Amino acid sequence: MLVVVAIILILMSMMLPALRNAVEQGRLTHCLSSLSQIGEIIQTYGEDNEDRFPPTRDALVSQYWWHIRLQVFGYGGRYECVSDDVPISQTYNAKAYLHSYGLNTCLGGSWYWSGIVSPANAYSVSSYIPDPLASPPRKARTFRDLTGTFKGPARTVMIADRNSPLALIDPSYKGAQLHANHGKGNDPWGENPPGMFFPRHIMGVNIVFADNHAKWLMPPFHPIGDPGNMEYLIPESDKLPEYIQW
């Protein structure tokens, strides 16, 4: 009898990792589907707003992030991942909004202010977009802008898994952006990964590109230890880590 029990326990211990992988694979697929739906919402937003991506955040209302804007304007969507045990909570007009994803600031701009990126705040896309009105403010990009870039819509990151364990102790990590100059050469599996890409799914990241195709990719998306901007997020850059070795 004891031998039978021992054999059953051994078999169970061998099966558990496979079961956990199967469960996580299901969550990964669910997350990819959710991201694709968010991508469709952003495309619809663009159709209604001069072809533009939603602004990453409003400079005058610090908690008015892109995903909150989409919900406030009636576009709907679910912005927390099923594999995210502690999605980030942001409050706007006394209502809490949860999210697990980030928008590429090279598309939505940095902090938005009356339709332009505020020059007083961090990284903007001003080095990468020709704009006759710029000096230095820039509007968020249009979808049309991407057709003339190296990456184009099909290879430009739009939204992806984003989070950081540091968000639990430091509010400055509670954003909803993917930032080309954030973390730069940090450990991609550490607490403060480059660009804030968070490898939530089987050590990889779910990404939706600007043409709305979804893909699971493994980090790193930037050379570890390199202090330069994370060019994977910049449409004009020829750095494509899923095709080119760093």
Residue 220 in any domain: the answer is yes
Residue 244 in any domain: the answer is no
Give CA separation, 136 vs 121, 125, 132, in Å.
11, 10, 10
Residue 245 in any domain: the answer is no
pLDDT on residue 37: 95
**pTM of this structure:** 0.80
pLDDT on residue 166: 80
Give CA separation, 130 vs 32, 109, 148, in Å.
33, 14, 11
- The β-bridge relationship of strands 205-209 and 157-161 is antiparallel
pLDDT on residue 59: 57
**H-assigned helices in the chain:** 2-48, 66-72, 105-108, 152-155
pLDDT on residue 164: 76
The number of distinct structural domains making up the chain is 1
Sign of CA dihedral 44, 50, 55, 60: negative
Alpha-carbon gap, residue 171 to 243, rounded angstroms = 35
CB 151 within 8 A of CB 235: yes
Residue 31 in any domain: the answer is yes
Strand partners, 61: none
In tens digits, what is the pLDDT along the chain, a chain of 246 residues?
Answer: 666 555 555 555 555 555 556 667 777 888 999 999 999 999 999 999 889 898 887 655 656 789 999 999 999 989 999 888 888 888 888 899 999 999 998 898 764 443 444 333 333 333 333 333 333 444 678 899 899 889 999 999 999 999 877 877 777 788 888 988 888 889 998 888 988 999 999 889 999 999 999 999 988 888 888 888 888 888 888 887 665 444
Residue 238 in any domain: the answer is no
Alpha-carbon gap, residue 212 to 184, rounded angstroms = 26
Residue 239 in any domain: the answer is no
Residue 123 in any domain: the answer is yes
Task: Write out the residue range of the structural domain in which residue 59 sits.
Answer: 2-233
